């Protein structure tokens, strides 16, 4: 079984469990965003991009590229990604229940900060930003300023 198949099957099991919890305890949503989702995003980045994950978490960065670019990786199943302290590079994904993912943002962190510098606590606290706006920002990032995909 390859890595993508392992991810797909694991996600199927997780969502079946969440569905059971939602049926039994309908006052809560039991969203999976949290450490689980972050870990999935990091694995997807390492499998599909020029990303080498750090063996242990470091403040603000999850890994780096082969040429030394420090990368913060964020993932969500929702329509917003989080952004905190301005990273050198930011790689953000929307994950889907069937194991697929969509790259929302790939590039330097500063354009995100510049776009939202009017927001209180930008660059200080973890804030949420719409995927649609981050996707639009990403469209202006030159290819040479993105983390390369693996072939």
Residue 150 lies in a domain: no
- Is residue 71 in some structural domain? yes
Task: Identify the domain containing residue 127 by its residue range.
Answer: 32-145
Q: Is residue 27 part of a domain?
A: no
One digit per residue, pLDDT tens: the chain, 151 residues? Answer: 899 999 999 999 999 999 999 899 887 888 887 678 888 899 999 999 999 999 876 778 999 999 999 999 999 999 999 999 999 999 999 999 898 999 999 999 999 999 999 999 998 999 999 999 999 999 999 999 999 999 8
Phi, psi of 125 (to 5 degrees): -110, 160
- Collapse the DSSP code of 47 into the 3-class scheme (helix H, G, I; strand E, B; otherwise coil) and give the result: helix
141 within domain boundaries: yes
Residue at 54 is within a domain: yes
Q: Are 74 and 83 in contact (CB under 8 A)?
A: yes
pLDDT of residue 58: 74
Residue that is written with structure tokens 């981050």 in the block: 134
- Return the structure tokens found at 118: 């009017």
Q: How many CA atoms lie within 13 A of 74 on its CB side?
A: 26
Residues 6+ apart with CB under 8 A from 9: 1
Residue at 49 is within a domain: yes
The number of folded domains in the chain is 1
* 151 inside domain: no
């Amino acid at each position: 079984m390859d890595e993508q198949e392992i991810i797909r099957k694991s996600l199927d099991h997780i969502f079946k469990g969440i569905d059971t919890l939602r049926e039994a305890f309908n006052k809560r949503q039991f969203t999976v965003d949290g450490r689980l989702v972050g870990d999935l995003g990091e694995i997807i980045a390492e499998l599909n991009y020029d990303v080498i994950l750090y063996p242990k978490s470091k403040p603000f960065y999850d890994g780096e590229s082969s040429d030394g670019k420090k990368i913060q990786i964020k993932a969500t199943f929702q329509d917003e990604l989080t952004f905190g302290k301005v990273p050198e590079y930011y790689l953000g994904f929307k994950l889907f229940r069937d194991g697929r993912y969509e790259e929302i943002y790939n590039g330097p962190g500063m354009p995100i900060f510049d776009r939202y510098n009017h927001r209180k606590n930008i660059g200080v606290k973890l804030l949420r930003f719409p995927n649609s706006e981050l996707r639009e920002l990403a469209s202006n990032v030159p290819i040479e300023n993105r983390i390369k995909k693996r072939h």
